[in-house]
Amino acid sequence: MKPRQRSLTGLLFAIVLVPVILGLIACLPVPLGDPEKSRIDPELSGVWLRYYDDETVLMLFEPWDKRTWLLTAYEFNFDKCAAPAVEFDEDEPPGYAEVVTAFRALGPDCVAGELDEVYRAWIANLGGEQFMTWEPKSVFDEADGFEPEYWLGFRVGTASTDELTLRFVDIESPAFEEERVAELLDKLDDQGLPRDPRLLKSAKSAVEKIIRRNVDDDALYDEDPTMLYRVKPEDYDLFVGGVVLEL
The pLDDT tens digits of the residues spanning 56-111 come to 788 999 999 999 999 998 876 655 565 554 565 666 667 788 878 877 877 666 66
CB 110, CB 12: distance < 8 Å: no
Q: Is the residue at 59 inside a domain?
A: yes
Taking residues 187-198, report their average pLDDT. Answer: 87
What pLDDT is stored for residue 201 in this prediction? 95
pLDDT digits (tens, 9 = 90+) for 128-177: 999 999 999 865 555 555 678 889 999 999 878 899 999 999 999 999 99
More confident site: 87 or 38: 38
Q: Among residues of the chain, what percentage have pLDDT more than 70? A: 69
Q: Would 237 be classed as within a structural domain? A: no
Does residue 149 fall inside a structural domain?
Answer: yes
Please report whether residue 247 resides in a domain. no
* H or E segment to which residue 239 belongs: none
Using a CB cutoff of 8 Å and minimum separation of 24, what contacts does 240-243 make?
241/108, 242/76, 242/108, 242/111, 242/112, 242/113, 243/58, 243/74, 243/76, 243/111, 243/113
Count up the domains in the chain and report the number: 1
For residue 159, give the CATH number of its domain.
2.40.128
| Nearby residues of 149 by Cβ (< 8 Å), 6 or more positions away | 136, 139, 193
Q: Roughly how many angstroms between the first and final C-alpha of the chain, as a whole number?
A: 40
Q: Is the pLDDT of residue 49 over 80?
A: yes
For residue 200, tell me if it sits in a domain. no
Q: Is residue 183 part of a domain?
A: no
At 26 the pLDDT is 64
Task: State which residues form the domain around 140.
Answer: 5-170+220-232
How sure is the predictor about 24, in pLDDT bands with cuts at 50, 70 and 90? very low
* CA–CA distances in Å: residue 53 to residues 75, 174, 227, 241: 14, 25, 10, 25
Residue of 129, 150, 21, 2 lying closest to 73 (CA atoms): 21
Residue count of the chain: 247
Q: Is residue 30 part of a domain?
A: yes
Average pLDDT of the chain?
A: 79
- 138, with CB counted inside 10 A (0-12, 13-18, 19+), is exposed
Structure confidence at residue 197 (pLDDT): 92
Q: Is residue 242 part of a domain?
A: no
